[in-house]
Chain A
Amino acid sequence: MNQERRTFLKSAGAVGAIAVAIAAGLLKPGEAFAAAWNSLAFTAKTATDALTNSGYSGASESNDILIKVPEIAENGAVVPVEATSNIPGTTSMAIFVDKNPNPLIADFTFLNGAEPFISTRVKMAMTSIVRISVKAGGKAYTASREVKVTIGGCGG
């Protein structure tokens, strides 16, 4: 937990008013979910199947994908993962935890000026490779880091 996040949590209270407005039906959700959820990839039980079904297989190793993860995670239920792709033309980025029961964690597509960057928090069942794969110019690239987990956390 860093100071920035604490400030965020404090200031976030003001935003709660928006949520209240939504709950009261004052704001209309205007979302459109473009593609159907890729259940084949997300329910895959091995990293190989997850990579294949999400279209990230056959990726070349790249040093231009920067991954920020802790070396040791005390709590596998909440492991911060931050990734940046410096590969020109990066259009999407996926997070895999190879040894999780379902290795594919998330797949992000960047559009209309979004930077190829994501920061989030993932669950890790045990010590594993955390893999970031990206697509750029029709090709797949990947980089990985090991995170040691002292207490598994596929529960929460």
Chain B
Amino acid sequence: MPETMKMRATMQGDIADVKVLIQHIMETGLRKDAKTDKLIPAHFINQVVATLNGKTVLDAQWGVGISRNPFIEFKVKGAKTGDKVAVAAVDNLGTKFDGEVVIA
């Protein structure tokens, strides 16, 4: 089960624009399985942290309302081409996801 993170970071003036796409089911825990009529257990990413050259720039907490295969875009001032942006995420079952990209 490949669960990956895809990232792209580009400079727009003096601001880095970072786009992140994470493959995740983002199951709410509120849906019923059509066959068994039982609730499908919640399984969702609930914490995401982004760093620029190792310094935290974005600290996020998520609920079940973020869409499946989550997408986020954020902007960081003072970054430059060649800087490293890393994103770490964890879901409610403790599975961790990491990605890293160099700003183009």
Contact = CB atoms under 8 A, between A and B. Distances in A.
A19 interface: yes
Given A15-B7, A154-B30, 16 more contacts: A12-B21, A22-B99, A23-B4, A29-B98, A31-B86, A78-B68, A102-B63, A102-B64, A106-B60, A106-B65, A109-B58, A111-B55, A111-B56, A113-B77, A114-B57, A118-B73
Interface in B55-84: 55-68, 70-79
Contacts of A33: 47, 49, 59, 88, 90
Contacts of A114: 50, 57-58, 74-77
B59 A35 contact: yes
A110 B61 contact: no
A16 interface: yes
16 contacts: A8-B19, A15-B101, A30-B86, A31-B51, A42-B63, A101-B28, A101-B30, A102-B63, A103-B65, A105-B65, A105-B66, A106-B60, A108-B59, A123-B28, A123-B67, A155-B28
Q: Give the interface residue-count category, chain A.
A: 35 or more
Contact of A109 (B15, B59, B90): B59
A18 B21 CA distance: 13
B71 A113 contact: no
Residue picked from A12, A30, A97, most chain B C-beta under 10 Å: A12
Interface of A: 8-9, 11-12, 15-16, 18-19, 22-23, 27, 29-35, 37-38, 42-43, 77-79, 82, 95, 97, 100-115, 117-123, 154-156
B61 A111 contact: no
A12 B8 contact: yes
B58 A100 contact: no
Contacts of B55: 111-112
A115 B67 contact: no
A112 B25 CA distance: 31
Contacts of A115: 15, 74-77
B67 to A, nearest CB: 4
Given A102-B65, A154-B31, A120 B73 contact: yes
